[in-house]
Amino acid sequence: MLQDLENWLNKPYYFNPSIKFKSKLSLVFGFFVFSFLYIFEPFTLSTFKEYLFDYTLGIGLVTFVGTLIVLIIPPILFKNYFNEDNWTIGRNLIYIGLCIIFNGTILWFFGQLFKQETSIEHINYFTFIYYTFLVSALPLIIFISFNEKRIRKKREETAKEINDFNNAKLEVNLPLKNVVISSENNKESFTIEVEKLVYITSEGNYASFFIIKNNELKEKILRVTLTKIESFLKDYDFIIRCHKSYIINTKYVNGITGNARGYLLKCNILDFYIPVSRKFSKKSLLTLVK
């Protein structure tokens, strides 16, 4: 059971960086909190009487603003932690827990100010945080679980459709072509045979070229950006930048799979999957597996 839980927490999950999406999510969450508290009057809210609407509306508005802040600010400050390529359900749950505590703290202070003016007894901080988790945690966990399954299933179906369409892919048999790649400052360069280039990945200001030599994958490193590399390889339509950190020779791609985080390219000579940017449509994905 613990192993199943660990596997679930480590499942890839989709982290959406869109400000528009975060604004909508914050608005929906704020409205949910307001509606739930106003309609069902849980905990001590039944004693609020004529103040109930004002208080729950204020709670909803503060929840909206607080959620928007924690969805936008932390990913800007901690870019490495919020790397969408490494985002998992576990990370998302930790993030949500911290969001709930942050919102709960702001709401507690709001409640304290509100109740001072209305002579309503204010509950202690830890009880309030406990109530906040009761209202928020369960529906959010259910949403995460459902959303992960929905997105993963959709991408797996799309990947299967693409693989079925491309199951007659030709073997790599390209004419010899050489390309000279120069460094960012043009002081270094090397020549590669395009048909032997499998993929390129970037680490900071450096790019690693993985090339087949004597039936083995060899690595060459050069100080150059992927954007500049693209300009050298622009004449070869089978060389595609599939991700912000990867350029792939599609002739070596054998299939595609998907999870809740996105699509992944399969290559028989690699022991890992290469990620695909979310900007790729279904039509664009067909060009990656051909």
Starting from the edge strand earliest in sequence, which strands make up the sheet with 263-266, in order? 255-258, 263-266, 274-275
CA-based nearest residue to 285, from 152, 159, 151, 156: 159
**170 pLDDT exceeds 50?**
no
CA-based nearest residue to 211, from 187, 163, 178, 242: 178
Determine the average pLDDT of the residues in 258-283. 86
Which residue reads 């936008």 in tokens? 72
CA-based nearest residue to 57, from 131, 114, 129: 114
Q: Choose the most confident range, by mean pLDDT, from 129-138, 158-167, 279-288.
A: 129-138
59: pLDDT confidence band, cut at 50, 70 and 90? very high
> Do residues 190 and 181 lie in contact, with contact meaning Cβ atoms separated by under 8 Å?
yes
Determine the average pLDDT of the residues in 72-92. 88
Task: Report the range of poorest mean pLDDT among 6-10, 179-183, 249-253, 283-287.
Answer: 283-287
**What's residue 172's pLDDT?**
46
66: pLDDT confidence band, cut at 50, 70 and 90? very high
d(CA 133, CA 33) in angstroms, rounded, equals 12
- pLDDT tens digit sequence for 171-188: 444 455 789 999 888 889
DSSP string, 98-150: HHHHHHHHHHHHHHHHHHHHHTPPPPPHHHHHHHHHHHHHHHHHHHHHHHHHH
- pLDDT tens digit sequence for 96-118: 889 899 999 999 999 888 877 77
**What's residue 61's pLDDT?**
95
- pTM for the predicted model, two decimal places: 0.69
**What's residue 122's pLDDT?**
77
CA-based nearest residue to 103, from 62, 161, 147, 157: 62
How many other CB atoms are there within 10 angstroms of residue 175's CB atom?
Answer: 6
H/E stretch holding 180:
strand 178-182
**What's residue 218's pLDDT?**
92
d(CA 136, CA 151) in angstroms, rounded, equals 22
Determine the average pLDDT of the residues in 148-172. 72
**What's residue 165's pLDDT?**
62
Determine the average pLDDT of the residues in 16-44. 89
DSSP label of 88: B
Strand 246-249, strand 274-275: pairing: unpaired
**What's residue 176's pLDDT?**
53
**56 pLDDT exceeds 90?**
yes
**What's residue 214's pLDDT?**
85
Start-end of CATH 2.40.50.1020 domains in the chain: 166-288
- pLDDT tens digit sequence for 206-253: 999 999 988 889 999 999 999 999 999 988 888 999 999 999 999 899
Determine the average pLDDT of the residues in 132-147. 82
5: pLDDT confidence band, cut at 50, 70 and 90? confident
Provide the token pair at 198. Answer: 């499998």
Starting from the edge strand earliest in sequence, which strands make up the sheet with 206-213, in order? 216-222, 206-213, 197-203, 246-249, 239-243
> Do residues 287 and 276 lie in contact, with contact meaning Cβ atoms separated by under 8 Å?
no
Determine the average pLDDT of the residues in 267-282. 86
In this structure, whether the domain defined by 166-288 belongs to CATH 2.40.50.1020 is answered with: yes
pLDDT higher at 39 or 167 = 39
**149 pLDDT exceeds 80?**
yes
pLDDT higher at 152 or 200 = 200
